[in-house]
Structure 1
Amino acid sequence: MTRVPPRLPAFAAAIALTGCLTLTGCASADDGRDTMDAGTRLAELTDRLGRAASQTYTAVYALGTGEMATVVSAPPRTATISGDDRLLIGPEGVIACEDGTCSRPPGADDPPGATGIVTPEQVRAMVTAAAHTPGADVALSTESFAGEEALCADVQSMSDFTVCVTDNGILASFRGDGETTLELTRLSESADSSSLVA
């Protein structure tokens, strides 16, 4: 059973990206865990996640909290939106906008640790670490999210997690121990530039 942490602030909860959900499940594409090492299994997933930083898109996610979050990406800027709250990440750093007021949050130069963000870059780091962890166990599968085919990996390593990524590198889902779950529900190849301005 996935444990859901105490409710985060609406803004932080909206950007806690997680889950190749048990609700949808991943259709097994490779059951032979012992025929290929973790590094080989995770190589394609790592490559896919690296593409996200160059993609322009708008992705809508359903969270395990019952809330929705929207990620708008137009490199080099990204905005995560929940209700009236936004988190902006770009060359200028990190800016949080709540109730129409924008400011740099404490620890803005290190947003993952300070705000609870789970970004494609963070997930890629987790995947890379698992690929180099002796004894890591990885099962690959495929699933469809919002009409997009995704490669999924169920990883049992120092940190157990499940992640699904679309062909063009968009994070489709992620679930880690104690994390809120997330599932991609809508994806478009456009971005509203007004969402990316404080």
Structure 2
Amino acid sequence: MSALLDHLPELWQGLLVTLQLTVASFAGAAVAGTVITALRVSPVAVLRLLGTAYVETFQNLPLLVLLVLAFFGLPEIGIKAEPLTTAIVVIALYEAAYVAEALRSGVNAVARGQGEAARALGLTFGQSLRHVILPQALRTVVQPLGNIFIATTMNTALAGAVSVVELTTAANRVNLVEAQPIPIFVGAGLAYALIAACAGFVTGRLERRLVMVR
């Protein structure tokens, strides 16, 4: 336990980086995922194909491979960024595929008559999606999006492979000094569990508040 307490500043800094990675990556994934969802439900076949290709590609590639490719490959073509920025962008693009699938399931759950009514009022596809379909879809996928947020938190541990000192990497560095893996990694694990529990609590409350009575 002393090993954990003696290195709390390093572990705390790692936790802050994990939280920064999680929030920034999820925010980026939410934006990108919404755009991909629009492509996947578009009346234009080419756009639907592009959206499907994006989801299938990112869901079938390991995140670690994408991180390493971006970290070492982008500088080769003249694109340079800080490791933290690279990790945020890659994790956001990766999680966007899962956000898009969750949102698409929400869109499919919206009654067909809603879209027909929007078109009857003269709304374009984009307007009906923005003002009618997506607001209702979001209310049905709060819990799945919460699960994606939790998965994003866990996936930030892979950012250590590209020189980002998040919580897992900080714990590993402390362990290399103290050689006491049980208290150190149990402490790190409890921190991840606390983040997941808070996310589950918030999304659970939101889901009950926004539930749609059918």
The structure carrying a bigger helix percent of its residues is 2
For the pair shown, the structure with the greater C-alpha radius of gyration is 2
